[in-house]
Amino acid sequence: MLLMLSSLTFSQTTQPIEISSSRQAEGSPSFSDRSQYNSYDFCNSPLGLLKRDSMRVKLNLGMRTTSWHEKDNSDSLKQSATSWNIPDIMIGKPGSIYLRLYYSPVNIHDETKTSTDSVSTFSQKLSLPLNRFGITVAGQTNSGIFQMAVRGKGYYGEETLSDSKNTRLIMGLEDLSLTLGSHIHELVTIGLNGSATAKLDTLLYKTNTTYHDRYFTGLIPVLGWYIDFGKEGFPVASDFSFELGTHRFVYVSGIDEDKDPIRGDSLAWKWQTIGDIPGGDLVYHPALYLGYWRNHYQRYAYTESNDDLDVGDEVSGNDWKISSFSFGLGTSVD
């Protein structure tokens, strides 16, 4: 396959860009690949797996380890991470039902952290066993007029530090979603989805229970819909998706619980289309991509109700907007 691409992106950003929502419509070279025109590869909908995957059973077992030490001294290990897939299994009937289940424990160790007392500076060993897990279930009727998928992915772990009685609890949902779809025409499939993501990181301060250090961030809720147009053998394929999200962030620290709540909203849409043009022994596939996302965030004063999810008045001078527009032209040749 010969592939030619051209893309252009216009963006306008203001600080802090690190708060930007992870759900952004970004261009990708895949828009000129006809096989990528399904709702899974385009907008990460589990229902697209019913159209894309043809395997009945898939099983993965494995591990990966990473370490960092001095070049000439392998005993000077400072950082290491080991992750496992035990297991990652997929069972399904193509075009009918799909089930994926995985469990992936990760062990992280770091001895680069140092502390100082009245006598000397000494190193401390940080340890974080993190349990990652996920399940995806998708299915449809024989005609495809009704489709449904449920997906949940998360993690949980407790971080410890040598010579300290205090620990940190880290837990989160990378995705908790419900998607409903319908194959309303031989060329058209539509879908609606609602989802949420969340992360909590909190200090379990056992030596001083009045001191707090925690933060929460999440997209609650995210609502979207998509259209998947085309079928095998039809000369045109096209995908469109639209998504709205609400972002929540709060950081609490100190004895008096100094809070910094931030609220935001995000909007994203993207569209890609591709065609087939025969030319002798070759088939040309010209493609077009358009995408836009916009995020807005506002910092608020915290309330006296001690509710992490509640906010007070807007804080002036703490209003951020982030936006981006993407445009792409491409072609592939078979």
Q: pLDDT tens string for the chain (334 positions)?
A: 344 443 343 333 333 333 333 333 344 558 888 888 999 989 889 999 888 767 788 888 888 888 776 666 655 557 788 888 888 899 988 889 999 999 999 998 887 665 555 555 556 788 888 999 999 999 999 999 999 999 999 999 998 887 777 888 999 999 999 999 999 999 999 999 999 999 999 887 777 777 778 888 888 889 999 999 999 889 999 999 999 999 888 887 776 555 778 888 999 999 999 999 998 889 999 999 999 989 898 888 877 665 556 777 888 888 888 898 988 899 999 8
Are 62 and 82 in contact, with CB atoms under 8 Å apart?
no
Residue 209's identity, in one-letter code, is T
d(CA 25, CA 292): 6
**According to the model, what pLDDT value does residue 247 have?**
87
Neighbours of 90 (CB within 10 A): 19
pLDDT at site 114: 59
Nearest to 38 by CA among 197, 168, 228: 228
Tokens of 237: 């394929």
pLDDT score at 57: 87
Distinct helix (H) and strand (E) counts, the chain: 2, 15
What pLDDT sits at residue 27?
40
> What is the predicted pLDDT for the residue at 25?
37
Q: How far is CA 81 from CA 100, 116, 123, 130, in A?
A: 25, 26, 18, 10
C-alpha distances out from residue 170 to 35, 135, 154, 155, 333, Å: 38, 20, 11, 8, 48
User: Apex CA 89: angle with CA 191 and CA 60, to 5°?
Assistant: 125
* Cβ neighbours of residue 40 closer than 8 Å, sequence gap 6 or more: 46, 47, 48, 49, 51, 52
Q: Which tokens hold the place of 31?
A: 């828009």
Query: Which residues are bridge partners to 321 per DSSP?
Result: 296
Closest to 58 measured CA to CA, from 88, 28, 103: 88
Question: Can you name the residues that pair with 48 across neighbouring β-strands?
Answer: none
Asked if residues 296 and 265 have their Cβ atoms less than 8 Å apart, the reply is: yes
User: What is the helix (H) or strand (E) element at residue 52, kind and residue range?
Assistant: helix 48-52
What tokens appear for 202 in the block?
A: 């909190």
Q: Please check whether residue 177 is in contact with residue 193, taking contact to mean a CB–CB distance below 8 angstroms.
A: yes
Q: How far apart are CA 207 and CA 185, in angstroms?
A: 64
Residue 203: name the closest of 245, 141, 161, 243 by CA: 161
